Amino acid sequence: MMEKSWLLAFTLFLHVIPREAAFGVSGGVGLGIGNAGSGVWIGGGISNTPTPSPGSSASNLNSAYAALQSWKSAITDDPLKVLDTWVGSDVCAYKGVFCADPQDDEPGPVVVGIDLNHANLQGTLVKEISVLTDMSLLHLNSNRFSGTLPDTFRDLISLQELDLSNNHFSGPFPTVTLYIPNLMYLDLRFNSFSGPIPEDVFNKKLDAIFLNNNQFDSQIPQNLGNSPASVINLANNKLSGNIPSSFGLMSSKVKEILFLNNQLTGCIPQGVGLFTEMQVLDVSYNSLMGHLPDTISCLNQIEVLNLAHNKLSGQVPELVCSLKSLANLTVAYNFFSGLSQDCAKLFFRNVGFDFSLNCIPGRDMQRPQPECSVIPGGGLSCLRIPSPQPLICGSLAETLEANLSPSSP
């Protein structure tokens, strides 16, 4: 579900690569979607690209040849012998390198994509890659690349998708990615990046942001709400502090956002109800406290709502359990003290519902009574803007923006 919007990559290849070339590569065409990487993979190199004639694209391909050979020399282990084909000046025949005729008046072909997913290569990235200014996709997930990204990557003016997931990259957030002008998809998950996440990540016009399974720490930038992304994954890091209140004011187009397994505290912002198109919200394995905001009942498209392993308390609201698209609701390992009748009906709707290890009287598999005698965060005051009763979801945006804007008293 998380990467289904990135079937765009496949469409993009069909536009930039002639049909007979796109389906004539050795290894076939498939989708490389998984926990540690996403996007389109096309095995093998394009073997039917004609050798450039003198005076056509020789300069482009000569530059590409020099760049790829420099990169090849920085790769120290190639157990699958992927780079055995990286010989000679016809880079369009290299495995994992894709060429197409440019869409402007430049002579073609040019390198438009590199896909070395699951190649198990060990090495580093080199600055010479930045000469591939026609490249729109760079997919390197599931390798053993290490080090950092060269500053020259800002010159990749055509790059739209950068997938570096499941490698051994380290150091601070690679800020050079924020200067790649047309980047829409950024995947850095399953590496060892550390330090704070820069604010500019959420100012950039990215549609997908995958930063999960690193060592990022500090607080989530307060401008999180500026991001137009449809998918944001910050899971499995060391982020602390509150979920920014601007979280509720970001693009209503966001479909999936994951904060799980960090060190977040405070309340779930009331503005969560603005995400009328959200399908997945996971804040599990944090230390969030307080009552659930009534506005959660406005998540009309929500399918997976995971609040488990926090310190939340109060009642599980009736309107939350009555959400029509709900497929899985997990509130286990909290301090909730009651369920509505609609929550009990979830089992008859074939909705996965786990409310174990709370403090709900008369229910099985709850916490021992002594653990329920003192509710964590009992003195915590969550910011809750008064809303009409019954709650009118369509009016939430105006109410919250008016109360949370800087001009508010």
pTM above 0.85, yes or no: no
Contacts with 182 (C-beta within 8 Å, 6 or more apart), sequence order:
157, 158, 159, 160
Residues of the chain with pLDDT under 70: 1-58, 104-107, 248-252, 379, 383-392, 394-409
pLDDT for the residue 341? 85
pLDDT for the residue 332? 98
> Distance between CA atoms of 71 and 53, rounded to whole angstroms?
25
Q: Is the dihedral of CA 350, 304, 184, 251 positive or negative?
A: positive
Q: Left (φ > 0), alpha (ψ -120 to 50) or beta: where does 288 sit?
A: beta
Dig out the tokens for 189 from the structure.
């998950």
pLDDT for the residue 368? 96
Element (H, E) at 192: strand 192-195
Question: Half-sphere exposure of residue 152, counting CA atoms within 13 Å on the CB side?
Answer: 10
Per DSSP, 37 falls in state B
> Distance between CA atoms of 184 and 178, rounded to whole angstroms?
10
Contacts with 392 (C-beta within 8 Å, 6 or more apart), sequence order:
none
> Distance between CA atoms of 249 and 366, rounded to whole angstroms?
36
Per DSSP, 198 falls in state P
Would you give the distance in Å from CA 6 to the centre of its chain? 11
Residue whose tokens read 């020259």: 152
DSSP letters along 80-120, please? Answer: T-GGGG--SS-GGGSTTEEEE--SSSS-S-EEEEEE-TT--
